[in-house]
Structure 1
Amino acid sequence: MSSASAQPPSVCAAELAQRRLMECECLAAMYGPMAGDAGDRSSFEVVNPDVERELRAAVDAWEASGDSVAAALSVRAVSAPLRVSLTLAVPSASGGEDEPGEPGGSGPDRTPGRGTVTLGASLPTNYPAADAPALELSATHLSRDAITRVLRELRSLASERTARAAPDGFECLSELAQAAADLSAAAAAADDEARRRAAESNLGANGDGDGGDEGRAHAVVRIDHMNDGKGYTKTLRRWSRELAVDARVFYARESSGEVPKGSEGSIEGPPSGPQGRVEGVYAVLGGDGDDVRSFLTRLRTEFVDVDARGARCKERKSTVMCLRRAGVVKPGEERVPRFDGFECEGYVGADGLEDALARFNLLHVGAGAQRFQPAG
């Protein structure tokens, strides 16, 4: 149904604006900073507060004067639709039952590995009486196909509550928020179950699991430097957990003493990972091919480090040395061994880096100028 065919009389425009503003106030009370749940990652904001102020001024004038026609003209003169953003912590598929938290944490995490989903809504002039909000959806953990499916259902629900319920319509953002969380939890659970069954199938078909490589991939990426080694690797660890991508991060460190006799390099470093600025970083990744690619995409598109002024920045000096299906090896080399979880290791010198990459049979990644180069 088009907005032209279902457009309510102009005298209703101020009332509709009032309903939009009241709905935003309710959502701010439910999900805003004063909601009171310190463990929740949910948040709500009006993306264009200038539009909110214009609408509020028109509604205040209408309430003071009672001139609906003048107020309607003021509302329709507002330059853009009101836009809001709602970020929700995705609940566990069990409906909120306790699950293990982070290692070393003080208690259970409400959303271990589930991340968040962000619902964006643009509220047109005739919302909620006739036009449905225009919706966008993003998530920290869902695949593109899962996001598309969830968004399709949310748009159908929004249309049912507004355009199909004209002339009065229905304020639906709180219902959409709950549906977004529930649908995302179900999608995440389905993805987890699919990965579990695929892993079991591979193990069953390949005995000890060494050959269960269908769909899996390995990558080696070189990161020139990290200004904030601790914060950077914390982000990589979170991506590893959210995307189910196993990772080993090697970074150059200055030798703290005499190099052991008989060796010109060594692997060392605290288990907590790098601190401060580090250089010559190499990340070895393993997992489902799509998940590994998502990891590499995040590395180039999301904030991971800080610049010299301390401002957050994206990674612009990384090089993917190789990205290939698991089991694909160069002549004379062996397969990459299985590894799990996320770990950081420091290395000293070229030999230390060679030892690290050789343990994963990835010593000869890249070619020519793209072959690995130790820091310094």
Structure 2
Amino acid sequence: MAGSEISEEVADELQALQAIYCGDGEFCMLSDPDARVPMFCVSTKYRGRHDTISISASFTLPEGYPRMVPKISLSSESLSRGAISRLKEGISSHARTLPEAPMVLQLMTWLEENITEILDQDLAEVCDTPKESLSKEEDGEDLWLALLHLDHMRARGKYVKTIVKWTKELSLTGRLLFQERLILILLLGSMKNIKDYITRQRTRSVDVDSAGRSCKERMMTVLWEERLQEGTVSLAQFEVAECRTVEQLKDQFTGAVLERVYSEHVCTLLQKQSIRT
């Protein structure tokens, strides 16, 4: 960054982060948005082995960003000082390996992927638990279900092919659902593979921007994810469904678990969509 204003790519990155972390208190500017050295905080929650972990990441983007890596500060009441120190060291090292391009979203993704491992190290130090004794759940192979929301698709054909390809590679079943402007993705599979899918969606080029250039997904939201008991949800394969009516969309959510997901999350989105119309 140079001059008295931030660059267009940094402004775009801040806008994307605000769209992704749009929950109450998730994104907070600590400086003026147009400051030459933007400072902001992203607060989010990650699902741990046994409970939810809250963490805040504060970023200061130097004038040379993204040629220079951001200054990062982490805080969490859920983690020990040692865990926070290891996370900060790891995320800072990872930042130095990334291309000279806006990277905060990739750093938040790295945090999500590595926070459980850091917690495991803490537990191993306290409990001296052998790594070989990790259960199936702890190894990330337990069954999970996730619901994702996409804001839009410009290059729909290419985007859909990419989603189908990734779900096949990661052995995920589920649905890609369209209902007017609403776009939802249901994923069923191992926690590890679902996290891998989410990482791909956020960090790889999947769509095109208004100028027709390839771009990454900046406006995907993870609405819900939960570990399931075997047999509670049946989605034999991954399918793409065009729902002409709300009733057709609702029919895709059959069974106690999916009906709850529909009532708690999809209905809210439909109401927002109706208000905007």
TM-score (norm 2): 0.43
Bigger radius of gyration among the two:
1
TM-score (norm 1): 0.32
